Amino acid sequence: MSLLRQPILLLARSSAVKKLVSTMPVTSGIVTGYVPGESTEAAVEASAALVDDGLKVTLDYLGEDTLDTQQADATVAAYVDLLAALGSRGLPRSAEVSVKLSAIGQAIPEIGDKLALENARTICRAARNAGTTVTLDMEDHTTTDRTLAVLRDLRKDFPETGAVVQAYLHRTERDCRQLAHEGSRVRLCKGAYSEPDDVAFQDKIDVDKSYVRCLKVLLGGDGYPMIATHDPRMVEIAASLASRYGRAQGSYEFQMLYGIRPDEQRRLAGIGETVRVYVPYGQEWYGYLMRRLAERPQNLSFFLKSLISKK
């Protein structure tokens, strides 16, 4: 499976393949299985349907590695519009937003960190006015310290801002200890980027062990853990640890991606767990889709068949 990961990620950079994927009927079905649409309206409609099913939502306007201030401004405007739309539908109690700092200017040379902080403040202010919150997504390891620095600055005025940590990084257990304080919201995921050996665990068993260690820190701490996993064993372990640490339902939550294990999402919600679905949308869906395929190579055969059998 790991041998397929890099070729799939390389496809993510192909505009020709993107055009082919988006226009072929079967592949279009794959796209909408992971991304509900490109517009704010499509994202809000998908969110409303999930909330009707007893689930909560975090929305990600797709885009990253922005090197243009106008594009960064456009992304901020999209989030402000989204938050207004959520408010008009009465969804802020159940829907928040997730933001990648590279999408709002962090990668722009010289001014990136300052610009990303200013833009993140604008989004956080719009979220607070709408009655909801923001979570800062984590990206590759080279941006971890800078992202956490922005988080610290944001939390001075917006202490409800959520953080994300990735269990496959060697540093993450230490980061969890620093973040597991009262009022802190922390999403723990395994990690979706290709990282070198010296900073990240490479074997699944080592990543899983790190994930459990981090779970213990977060569930044993004073913050609000957001347990992002589709792994049935990790879900079971997390529920067991929550009980061990005296965590009542609602003092933590499970998170899963849109279109992945929807029956499990509803099952957990049905037994009283808080479950939040990560809903990505926007025109820059192609790289996101390819990362999901890289994580789940069992989908690749269906994907490739659809490319060669439909015109």
- Return the active site residues: 137, 187
Strand intervals (E) in the chain: 56-61, 95-99, 134-136, 162-166, 185-189, 224-228, 253-257, 275-281
Give helix 15-23 / helix 25-34 axis angle, nearest 10°. Answer: 100
C-alpha to C-alpha distance for 296 and 294, rounded to whole angstroms: 5
In our burial notation (b when 16+ CB lie closer than 10 A, e otherwise), range 191-217 reads bbbebeeeebbeeeeebbebbeebbbb
- Residue 141, CA distances (Å) to 96, 147, 153 in order: 25, 10, 20
Residues near 192 by beta carbon (within 8 Å), at least 6 away in sequence: 166, 291, 294, 295
- H-helix or E-strand spanning residue 132: none
Residues near 242 by beta carbon (within 8 Å), at least 6 away in sequence: 219, 252
The identity of residue 138, as a single letter, is M
C-alpha to C-alpha distance for 131 and 306, rounded to whole angstroms: 42
